[in-house]
Amino acid sequence: MALIRELVQKALKTGYLTIEAEEQLRQLLTTHYDLEDLNAFMALQEAAMAGKVKQESRERFEYTPIEQCS
């Protein structure tokens, strides 16, 4: 299984976090991880909040107002 920092590096490089990678991160965060992985995860969170990384899970379930659909 990949390390947290490997998943983060891919997301930062592509600007996109897939649902599969998000699930892997959830699983990895329930196990023992080191400080480098924790720092990488925090960097990913900051990038997502800044809009530098998009999350597939959020795109899939985003709300579109009815006025914009016509």
Tens digit of each residue's pLDDT (9 = 90 or more) over 22-61: 999 999 999 989 999 999 999 999 999 999 999 998 887 6
Count other C-beta atoms under 10 Å from residue 68's C-beta.
6
Residue ranges of the domains in the chain?
4-63
Encoded tokens for 8: 């983060």
pTM to 2 decimals? 0.79
- In angstroms, rounded to a whole number, what is the distance separating the alpha carbons of residues 62 and 7? 23
* Cα gap 70→53, rounded to integer Å: 29
Question: According to the model, what pLDDT value does residue 34 have?
Answer: 94
CA distance 20 to 11: 12
